[in-house]
Amino acid sequence: MLRPVAVLVAALLAIAAPARADVVYGDWWVTCDNVRACTGYGFPSGDQYGVVLRLRREAQADAAAELDLNISADLAKGVSGPLALAVDGEIVARTQPPEGAEDDDRGWRISEAQTPALLAAIVRGKALEAKAGERTVVTISLAGASAALRWIDDRQKRAGGVTALVARGPAPASAVPAPPLAPVIRAAKPVSQAGLADTPPAAVRARIKALDCQVDTPEIPTAYRLSRGVVLWVVPCWVGAYQIASALVLTDERGGHVRLADLGGKGDANARAMATNAVYDTAAQKLYAYAKARGVADCGESTTHAWTGKGFVLVERSELQICRGLPRDFWVTMFRAR
């Protein structure tokens, strides 16, 4: 069964996030973002890493479900062609040729024409085998698949209609409501970075000490001018394996009016002012943060916040809370803005 990350280091994952929208059913994990685009992952029932059957579907009424199978390089070694996909011993679909180099994790896509038949078999089956000739390369558990896909139908408001994956009914595709629009965020115009100090003022250092930050680290604090009269100090606070969690402190040009930045989300003011591996783009007026839950980066969170002139506003958040050896590009967009 799946084992979501039980505890993520608070300092590393203290980056803002709206309410979560994901759930685990058996060996399946599903989620939808704020515009009702949904993703489902089916895993092997054991601890086999780097293997997942992925389903993606946008929220528009005419959006088709997309399926692909990822297999780690060690398990896919020697497999060069399409795979036969058998549900409970019966072959119901064949993949397209593999994508990716032989020494990398490799992906096999299922054509749009074969996807409906495969999904119909998945919701009734117990196990899906990917076979190269007589060899079973990997087996995906289908425990929880029906409930997971039904959950997507409900979230995308397809239940009871002809476009549903599982919860089908007579309602026409036109009954599926249009997805909500992503919010529009306007970043402030960039400003000159000339004349910024190299060393945080005493008031900033005092505020950092109050956060119990590890201020004696060799990493150097960085200053950015966000707007006229507003300076952001990114001060390393905690150092881990290939990661640095920083406190975000705002001041005026002279180092006064010291206060913590607020990235929103849950937690107290201290937590909302923390960002991991933070990088600020002065041209785009965006703050990027990236927190690995494990050193191999098979799970964690990343965020992008825009500076609007008044504060930081979330623009995008991606994450994966199931640590199963998947590549970074399997992190899922959970929130998006325009």
User: Is residue 295 located within the same domain as residue 168?
Assistant: no
Can you give the pLDDT at residue 216? 59
| One domain, residues 148 and 241 | no
Give the C-alpha separation, 149 to 167, whole Å: 9
Closest CA to 39 of 18, 27, 53, 20: 53
125, 71: one domain: yes
List the structure tokens of 105.
């994790």
Please check whether residues 156 and 94 belong to one and the same domain. yes
HSE-up of residue 204 (Cα within 13 Å, Cβ side): 28
Q: Which of 158, 175, 192 is the last residue of a domain?
A: 175
41 vs 50: CA distance, rounded Å: 12
Quote the pLDDT of residue 63: 98
Whole-number Cα distances in Å, 177 to 41, 161, 170: 25, 12, 16
- Count of other CB atoms within 10 angstroms of residue 203: 15
- The answer as to whether 194 is a domain residue is no
Read off the pTM: 0.88
The answer to the question of residue 109 being in a domain is: yes
Query: Within this chain, do residues 169 and 260 fall inside the same structural domain, yes or no?
Result: no
Tell me if 286 is assigned to some domain: yes
Q: Tokens at residue 256, please? A: 């006064």
105 with 154, same domain: the answer is: yes
Q: Which of 157, 175, 193 is where one domain is finished?
A: 175
Contact status, residue 23 vs residue 322, Cβ threshold 8 Å: no
C-alpha distance across the termini of the chain, in Å: 37
Q: Based on the fold, state whether residues 331 and 206 are members of the same structural domain.
A: yes
Q: Could you say which of 126, 160, 175 is where a domain stops?
A: 175
Same domain as 306, residue 256:
yes
85 residue type, one letter: L
Name the DSSP letter for residue 211.
T
Residue 217 lies in a domain: yes
The total number of structural domains that make up the chain: 2
Both 320 and 210 in one domain: the answer is yes
pLDDT of 217 reads: 54
- Residue 81 within any structural domain of the chain: yes
> In CATH, what number is assigned to the domain containing residue 55?
2.60.40.1880
- Domain with 325 in it: 202-336
**Helix 145-155 × helix 115-122 angle, to 10°:** 120
Q: Give the residue from 114, 2, 121, 9 showing the smallest Cα distance to 66.
A: 114
Is residue 168 domain-shared with residue 209, that is, in the same domain? no
Q: Is the domain of 224 the same as that of 136?
A: no
104 and 156 inside one domain: yes
Q: Does residue 308 fall inside a structural domain?
A: yes
Residue 66, burial from CB neighbour count under 10 angstroms (0-12, 13-18, 19+):
middle
Residue 249 lies inside a defined structural domain of this protein: yes
Position 165 scores a pLDDT of 97
Residues of the chain with pLDDT under 70: 1-20, 215-219
